[in-house]
Structure 1
Amino acid sequence: MATLILLRHARSAANGSGILAGRAAGVGLDEVGAGQAAGVVGRLAGVALSEVVVSPMQRCQETVAGLVAERGLSPVVEPELAEVDYGEWTGRKISELTQEPLWKVVQQHPSAAVFPGGEGLAQVQARAVAAVRARDREWGADAVWLACTHGDVIKAVLADALGMHLDAFQRLVVDPCSISVVRYTETRPFVLKVNDTGGDVSALLPPKESGGSSDAVVGGSTGTPA
């Protein structure tokens, strides 16, 4: 069991124009997103990565391009971490979709939401969590790996790690190019960070002497030693 850094792709051209990109081809980063992606290298400078896993979507691959080049790594494409298949909603304006009857279900009862011609959010969580947990088991307690994927996918993985029902996952915020950190252990995950858009995250990673313990700190953590 290891530590997973969940990186949402940087801002895409679709994000900037209010379009639900879904799995549409050719959706890359906009100018703001390119700058965000460039900053990832510095934010992770103090973190040794065993592996970088990436969604098949172009915007995710562009987000990690500088990082993997700097580290000399080859990103591993994981289809199960692909964007939600929004079906007939793909390519439509968010402002229009908010008027659809299904929008209320997506917001208030997402476990029941199935996109017309696409997949359901419960299916998304099942595939993403299964992929993350299977890959995480390949690494030892001291390993750190990164997965670059999409907002709803990350929220679904975080909901599982928090023991939160999928119907509550809309309470989580995962901004473009944000970092969330989950440390998996034999009996439970620990969520160390959610939606970090700031600087160096190396202090969030567990010390090697932790040995991947599944025990929670009683009385509260004393923080990371200086």
Structure 2
Amino acid sequence: MAIVLLLRHGHSTANAAGVLAGWSEGVGLTDTGRTQAERVAGRLAPLSVVRAVSSPLQRCRETVAVALPGLEAVTDERIGECHYGAWTGRALSEAAKDPLWRTIQDDPGAATFPPSPDYAAESLGQMADRVVAGLRALDAEVEAEHGAAAVWVAVSHGDPIKAVVAEAVGAGVAGLQRVRVDPGTVTAVHITPTRMVLLASNTVEGDLAPLVAVPTAHAAGDSTVGGGEG
């Protein structure tokens, strides 16, 4: 199936303030974030990207507009940020004092965010299931329209992309905190009929073309015994 390049939005005003933005409105890119998106634009320019899908949130929409100026992105809530409920807008320094913080760090599969009258809440497991299923469905659409060699971009957030990487390496949501995804980075994943295959994670520079040239065996969903020629 197709190759998806997962782009975390650039550095945001919430990142600068040390706040868990979640689905709160009015969180855009900082100057640093725009510079990061411009750097990604240079990396994507040599590729034939057939589709761009973005989280509906402002910081992602601003990122994709800079990173892929010639391609109109569609938004999809399935790849949106985790619904942090009552933690939305909370200072991370304060959140770290909450007993739930240790659950998030040590046993993320057991972590559910508290409800809020203003914001939806979900567990990290629910978030991971939503994002992984959404990416699979979107990838199938891309392949049906553009073929198995197609390359597309999904612009999302730290925790959702971490969940995809954890799924690709077989760790599931339990391995969420073993993954790092920085603002403005590109992660490459090949979604096959049988599994997700991690091609690269948290990259800030370098040629992306070799990552999207998938060997025939991988295209069928099988890894080459012995490691292949890559």
Q: Identify the TM-score tier after normalising by the shorter chain.
A: over 0.9
Cα distance in 2, alignment partners of residues 210 and 145 from structure 1: 20
Following superposition, the deviation at residue 89 of structure 1 comes to 0.9
Following superposition, the deviation at residue 168 of structure 1 comes to 1.3
How high is the sequence identity, in percent, across the aligned residues?
45
Cα distance in 1, alignment partners of residues 215 and 46 from structure 2: 14
Which residue in the other structure is 2:11 paired with? 11
Is the Cα–Cα contact under 8 Å of residues 218 and 224 in structure 2 kept in the other structure? no
- Summarize the alignment of residues 1-226 of structure 1 with structure 2, pairs less than 5 Å apart: 1-69=1-69, 71=70, 73-117=71-115, 118-138=121-141, 139=143, 140-207=147-214, 212-223=219-230
Following superposition, the deviation at residue 199 of structure 1 comes to 2.8
Out of 53-62 and 134-143, give the one that drifted further: 134-143
Following superposition, the deviation at residue 211 of structure 1 comes to 8.0
Following superposition, the deviation at residue 209 of structure 1 comes to 6.0
* Paired positions, count: 221
Cα distance in 1, alignment partners of residues 152 and 21 from structure 2: 26
SS of alignment partner, residue 197 of structure 2: strand
Following superposition, the deviation at residue 200 of structure 1 comes to 2.5
Is the Cα–Cα contact under 8 Å of residues 42 and 200 in structure 1 kept in the other structure? no
Following superposition, the deviation at residue 188 of structure 1 comes to 2.4
Q: Which runs of 5+ in 2 are unaligned?
A: 116-120
SS of alignment partner, residue 199 of structure 2: strand
Following superposition, the deviation at residue 3 of structure 1 comes to 0.5
Q: Normalization by structure 2: what TM-score?
A: 0.91
